[in-house]
Amino acid sequence: MEPITRRELAKRLGIATLAAPAAALGASAPLRGRVALAPLPDRTGGRLDPATARRALERALQASTGAASAPAALAALFRADDVVGIKLNCLSRASLSPRVELVEALAALLREAGLAAERIIVFERSSRELQQAGFTIRRSGGPYHCFGIDGDWDATPSTSGQIGSCFARLVSTTCTALVSFGVVKDHDLAGVSAGAKNWYGVIHNPNKYHDHNCDPYVADVLRHPFLAARIRLTLLDGGTAQCHGGPGYRPDATFPLGLLAASTDPVACDAWAWRAIDGERQRRGMPTLAAASRTPRFLATAQSYGLGIGTPAQITEVSA
């Protein structure tokens, strides 16, 4: 595929000018259901080489958008005056969380795209979870800020569909654009925990929303205006994935998937992860998620809301 310019990418995304926000990104027909996949080493070798991490991220960003370079892709997705929040999934600590080297590469590329370091915030539910995953807590200075929500919720709840929750002030007030940076693993109730369910971490009461395979609750969180209007990018560290026993870490259920996934569709990465998890389960002689009564039904609901493509058969994989 021929690379496209930043201006052409902005045009495809429906951005009126290059300085305008990439709102309603999922509605852009050329990018719906598109998941870019770049080769990425699994975790058996220990620390990820920073140059390898950056190369995988650059390739995934270019392939997911068609931009001429990774900074050009990010410059079309984020404004220089945005405050970009990067939500990680660090439940499994360093064993199965987005690797530090990938997150640092993303922050570096965002700076090259025109964002100041203080406008890049890497976050999780708690600072403790970030530290356990290998991140350094930093509320000022450095190449990016990194800290937990740490109980800083809105004073009053807001509703979306069937959820009523206090959101983290980081997403309701501070950040103007958001990235979900998750991993590829199954979930004992939702079926899949990847990019979409990662956003359960920004509401104060996720424990209330796990019935019926977390449907429609994950989709209802996603379509809340704090998220739907701000999510620009989803990334998954799929170097190593987990096909059973999630959302906690279960080493005997991990496998070397060897891929970094990227999409501007906030639903598509989860549909792709579902397909990858089912593929490994079948290779092991295990029932599919559907056969195990863990269909990720929230994905079909999210698709019915117009948030993105949640049907695995409709996902377009693009090799980076």
Q: What is the mean pLDDT of residues 304-318?
A: 96
Range of the structural domain that residue 188 is part of: 6-319
Q: Which residue has the higher pLDDT, 25 or 257?
A: 257
Domain annotation covers residue 43: yes
**CATH classification at residue 105:** 3.40.50
Q: What is the mean pLDDT of residues 149-158?
A: 97
For residue 163, the model assigns a pLDDT of 97
Domain annotation covers residue 99: yes
Q: What is the mean pLDDT of residues 90-98?
A: 96
Q: What is the mean pLDDT of the chain?
A: 91
3-state secondary structure of 29: coil
In the predicted model, is pLDDT for residue 13 greater than 80? no
What residues contact residue 219 under an 8 Å CB cut-off, 6+ apart? 161, 196, 298, 299, 301, 302, 305, 307
For residue 45, the model assigns a pLDDT of 77
Cβ atoms within 10 Å of 291's Cβ, excluding its own: 12
Domain annotation covers residue 1: no
Nearest Cα to 250, choosing from 260, 261, 240? 240
Nearest Cα to 240, choosing from 45, 35, 88, 36? 45
In the predicted model, is pLDDT for residue 312 greater than 70? yes
**31 confidence band (pLDDT: 50, 70, 90):** confident
Q: What is the mean pLDDT of residues 193-205?
A: 98
Count how many domains the chain has.
Answer: 1
Nearest Cα to 189, choosing from 204, 202, 165, 206? 206
Domain annotation covers residue 119: yes
Domain annotation covers residue 294: yes
**268 confidence band (pLDDT: 50, 70, 90):** very high
Q: What is the mean pLDDT of residues 9-20?
A: 35
**68 confidence band (pLDDT: 50, 70, 90):** very high
**The model's pTM:** 0.91
Q: What is the mean pLDDT of residues 194-199?
A: 98
**320 confidence band (pLDDT: 50, 70, 90):** confident
| Structure tokens belonging to residue 251 | 């080493």
- Kindly report the backbone phi and psi dihedral angles of residue 157, in degrees, each rounded to the nearest multiple of 5, phi listed first: -75, 160
Residue 38 CA to residue 61 CA, distance in Å, equals 9
**9 confidence band (pLDDT: 50, 70, 90):** very low
Residue 287 CA to residue 239 CA, distance in Å, equals 23
Lowest mean pLDDT among 6-20, 56-70, 165-179, 277-291: 6-20
- Using a 10 angstrom Cβ sphere, with 0-12 exposed, 13-18 middle and 19 or more buried, the burial of residue 3 is middle
In the predicted model, is pLDDT for residue 20 greater than 80? no
In the predicted model, is pLDDT for residue 271 greater than 50? yes
* Rounded percentage of the chain residues whose pLDDT exceeds 90: 89
Contact between 320 and 62 (Cβ < 8 Å): yes
**101 confidence band (pLDDT: 50, 70, 90):** very high
